[in-house]
């Protein structure tokens, strides 16, 4: 799993699979030395590994991940763009969660608070989450799952964020579980 920040989705995923002996989190990776995910994964006996831009773009990290032989790479609040080398090495094996109903509010710079702020500014009546495969473009990979939540005029940006986080925590682990079961059935 890759995360850049707080790591609440990583924590929920780890908790979901904690008692499932058929699933192993082989690595938690972050590009942020101060990311909350580093502390969150300790309760599961995991150590988040911090990497830098050079590791990510020059192939060192890709080689390390290839050696881990993951069935799935999960981006859970990871903010860097995944390069073509990653997409080509792991076709349909890298998934991301986005805090809006794509194709709305996707693309470069549209993450977290920025998305919720735009949703509020446009007076949207619904928002939600999208879990999708990662391709060469920001937030344009094939959609795996979407769930929506109703909004009211009274919802503040913080309220929207909370509603979306609730959806993320409820659905992301189970969608990952379904993908892993599908993968194991195809082998």
Looking at the annotation, which residues are catalytic?
98
Residues 6+ apart with CB under 8 A from 66: 89
Cα 113 from Cα 115, distance rounded (Å): 5
Torsion, Cα 133 10 116 152, to 10 degrees, reads 110
Q: How many Cβ atoms sit within 10 Å of the Cβ of residue 109?
A: 9
- The half-sphere exposure of 15 on its side-chain side, counting CA atoms within 13 A, is 10
CB 130 within 8 A of CB 96: no
Cα 120 from Cα 99, distance rounded (Å): 13
């Amino acid at each position: 799993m890759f995360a850049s920040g707080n790591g609440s989705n990583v924590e929920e995923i780890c908790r979901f699979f904690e008692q499932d002996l058929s699933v192993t989190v082989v690595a938690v990776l972050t590009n942020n030395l101060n990311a909350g995910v580093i502390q969150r994964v300790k309760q599961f006996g995991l150590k988040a590994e911090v990497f830098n831009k050079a590791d990510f773009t020059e192939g060192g990290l890709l080689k390390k991940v290839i050696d881990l032989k993951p069935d799935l790479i999960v981006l859970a609040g990871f903010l860097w763009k995944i390069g073509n080398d990653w997409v080509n090495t792991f076709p349909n094996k890298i998934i991301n969660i986005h805090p809006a109903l794509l194709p709305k509010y996707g693309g470069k710079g549209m993450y977290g608070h920025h998305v919720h702020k735009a949703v509020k500014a446009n007076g949207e009546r619904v928002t939600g989450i999208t879990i999708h495969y990662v391709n060469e473009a920001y937030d344009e990979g094939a959609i795996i799952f979407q769930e929506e939540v109703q909004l009211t005029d009274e919802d503040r940006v913080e309220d929207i964020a909370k509603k979306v986080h609730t959806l993320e925590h409820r659905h992301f682990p189970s969608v990952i579980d379904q993908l892993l079961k599908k993968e194991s059935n195809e082998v």
